[in-house]
Structure 1
Amino acid sequence: MREFEVIDRIRALLPSAPEGVILPIGDDCAVIEVGGERWVAAADMLVAGRHFREEWSSPGDVGFKAVAVNVSDVAAMGARPRFVLTSGGAPGSEVALGCFAGVAEACREFGVYPIGGDTTGSERLVVDVAILGSLEGRDFVARSGAGAGDVIAVSGELGAAAAGLLALERGVEGYERLKARHRRPEPRVEAGVAAAEVGMGAMIDLSDGLASDVRHVCERSGVGCRIDLGLLPVSPDVRELALKLGEDPERLAATGGEDFELLFCGPEAAVEKLGRVVGTPVTVIGEVLSEAKGVGFLKEGRAVPDLSGWDHFS
């Protein structure tokens, strides 16, 4: 089974959501109401050999990234991150302390307070972070709000983290900016908050890759879409490295994953306003269509088949 088939099976095991659960599992975060205020909640895990390699990511890098990827989930709901619980297993106390130093650094950078967690010994480093974020009176933005006629846009750039990973895997010297994008992602909190405030219809963070994540939005919203790969924001160093390694830059940007940028679906006016009010570039890359038209990717006017991103059980 693929990851989202597993999630569907888990969902089928659960009872009906109790009062106070506004949005249950299946989105970037759950939404709950406590004391008349709405909060978002999520958790994400990093496992050695699956999400990182110890030879090129320090324990501090891993701790920082574990917080950052959870902050990105909160941003994708239009919320602001507030508190984290961090648990981990490490092959020795020094590795554990190094990892939690990275957690503390990320918490300072993203304005999050660590309120607890658990530590234990394990053969390899594993870190799990649970996060709470506040909607601060805003409406949350789910994956299910895209409508035919909306435009599709992304924040920042695509493909940098995947290019950095390629450089690390293949022992390429230089390209330190790209390697850092893999080790220590930059979640787009302010862009997510602004997207909620301008009335964006749907949003998701690009963790598994554009090709997979836009499908999640379409499935939850009951729509189709077309993405023009020629419009993807790919930086010159990503393009240079991809071509040097015999990779197609646009395909890498569409499938690589771990960008932790945000994908937005909404009326053109809302997307234009978002681009004016946030410091991060916002690039239109496609449009939302009726469900009957499916999910398609184009390059130079021709269909590009077989695009998919990361799957945690593949």
Structure 2
Amino acid sequence: MSIAESGEFGLIGRIVSRLDSGTATILGPGDDAAVVRAADGRVVASTDVLVEGRHFRRDWCGPIDVGHRAAAANLADIAAMGATPTALLVALCVPPTLDSAWAEGLADGLTAEAALCGAAVVGGDTSSSPTLTIAVTALGDLGGREPVRRNGAQPGDILALSGRIGYAAAGYTILSRGFRTPKMLVEAYRRPEIRYAAGPEAARLGATSMIDVSDGLLQDVGHLSTASLVGIDIRTAAFDMPDQMRDTATALGLDPYQWVLAGGDDHPLAATFPAGTRLPADWREIGSVHDGSGVTVDRKPWSGPLGWDHFKVN
């Protein structure tokens, strides 16, 4: 059944029936607005838009995968502030000819990704559109902590990363070349794996700055550098690169560090910590902060791409 056949309220009913409630949800879908607990007294909020053909392709990703990707892009931003995600609001603009089952799969993916960090989809909106577009707003709770901003890095700090990097970019390249293997890299593009708990953990450890690496490590760490008025150096030797990534890069005649340093969509968290901080196992030191400006790689300027720009031809 197409969405045009089921109608707007039929579509909404199908989606709502697939949603779960999170622990912060007082009132979910069904009224003019949702009610979500904010025990801290402050609400962390972030929003992101995914447009078909720009951020995802339905011949590359199934609807459940797209749901995971759409939720993850926002939930990671909440974690990067040192907060715990609590709720998602989703606006869905779809062609009337789209199969209702696709929208249901999207709802399943959104729900499943939100559940990974205890959040839930609590409301949203639908509209007809010639271009499939998914707009997600995420809410979070600081739990009594101060937000970890981008502007607190200090010379002498260490730079650390939590989560995998370069995998999704490698998967994107593989798919764009018409291949479907190695499966590990393709699946990394289709469905990110994010350590949401690492954000609040970093805040408790005294992180001085933090960011979600969504558009490329060099570009996003560059935001920390600019906001904090410091220089940051990244060490390539700090990264564990799987054999599949090295072998794929060799087969395609590419430098795998372009994926690691400039690739997006993995959504790891990058943070700076005071020197001497004992990092948990899910964080690894990848660089250092110093007086100056800009981001270098192994103490040298990087001449390759920096990352994703929505308004350039990528």
Task: Give the TM-score taking structure 2 as reference length.
Answer: 0.81
Residues 213 and 64 of structure 1, relative CA distance in 2, 3 Å threshold: same
Q: Which moved more, 1:237-246 or 1:207-216?
A: 237-246
**What is the CA-CA distance between 1:171 and the residue it aligns to?**
2.3
d(CA) in 1 for partners of 2:44 and 2:157?
A: 25
Q: Which moved more, 1:202-211 or 1:121-130?
A: 121-130
Residue in structure 1 matched with residue 291 of structure 2 by the alignment: 290
Indicate conservation of the 8 Å contact 2:167/2:259, yes or no.
no
Residue in structure 2 matched with residue 25 of structure 1 by the alignment: none
d(CA) in 2 for partners of 1:95 and 1:190?
A: 30
**What is the CA-CA distance between 1:220 and the residue it aligns to?**
0.7
Q: Which amino acid aligns with 1:111?
A: G
Deviations 1:159-215 (A, max 9, x none): 100011111111224222211211111222111111000101011011000010011
Indicate conservation of the 8 Å contact 1:69/1:187, yes or no.
no
Residue in structure 2 matched with residue 73 of structure 1 by the alignment: 77
Residue in structure 1 matched with residue 184 of structure 2 by the alignment: 177
Give the structure with the larger helix fraction.
1
Q: Which amino acid aligns with 1:204?
A: I
d(CA) in 1 for partners of 2:108 and 2:164?
A: 28
RMSD value over aligned CA atoms? 1.8
Residues 122 and 148 of structure 1, relative CA distance in 2, 3 Å threshold: same
1:225 aligns with 2:232: yes
Which entry has the higher C-alpha Rg, 1 or 2?
2
d(CA) in 2 for partners of 1:241 and 1:57?
A: 20
1:161 aligns with 2:177: no
Indicate conservation of the 8 Å contact 2:163/2:267, yes or no.
no
Any idea what SS the aligned residue of 1:63 has?
helix
Residues 285 and 53 of structure 1, relative CA distance in 2, 3 Å threshold: same
1:144 aligns with 2:151: yes
Q: Which moved more, 1:229-238 or 1:156-165?
A: 229-238
Residue in structure 2 matched with residue 256 of structure 1 by the alignment: 263
1:94 aligns with 2:101: yes
Residue in structure 2 matched with residue 112 of structure 1 by the alignment: 119
Task: Give the TM-score taking structure 1 as reference length.
Answer: 0.81
d(CA) in 2 for partners of 1:185 and 1:112?
A: 17
**What is the CA-CA distance between 1:105 and the residue it aligns to?**
2.1
Residue in structure 2 matched with residue 238 of structure 1 by the alignment: 245
Residue in structure 2 matched with residue 10 of structure 1 by the alignment: none
**What is the CA-CA distance between 1:241 and the residue it aligns to?**
1.4
d(CA) in 1 for partners of 2:39 and 2:76?
A: 25
Residue in structure 2 matched with residue 308 of structure 1 by the alignment: 306
How many pairs align? 272
Q: Which amino acid aligns with 2:306?
A: S
Residues 54 and 216 of structure 1, relative CA distance in 2, 3 Å threshold: same
Which stretches in structure 1 are left out of the alignment for 5+ residues?
1-33
d(CA) in 1 for partners of 2:70 and 2:49?
A: 7
Q: Which amino acid aligns with 1:198?
A: L
Any idea what SS the aligned residue of 1:179 has?
helix
1:9-158 equivalence runs, <5 A: 37-91=41-95, 92=98, 93-158=100-165
Which stretches in structure 2 are left out of the alignment for 5+ residues?
1-37
**What is the CA-CA distance between 1:60 and the residue it aligns to?**
1.9
Give the structure with the larger strand fraction.
1
d(CA) in 1 for partners of 2:124 and 2:180?
A: 38
Deviations 1:7-66 (A, max 9, x none): xxxxxxxxxxxxxxxxxxxxxxxxxxx786222100111110101111111122112211
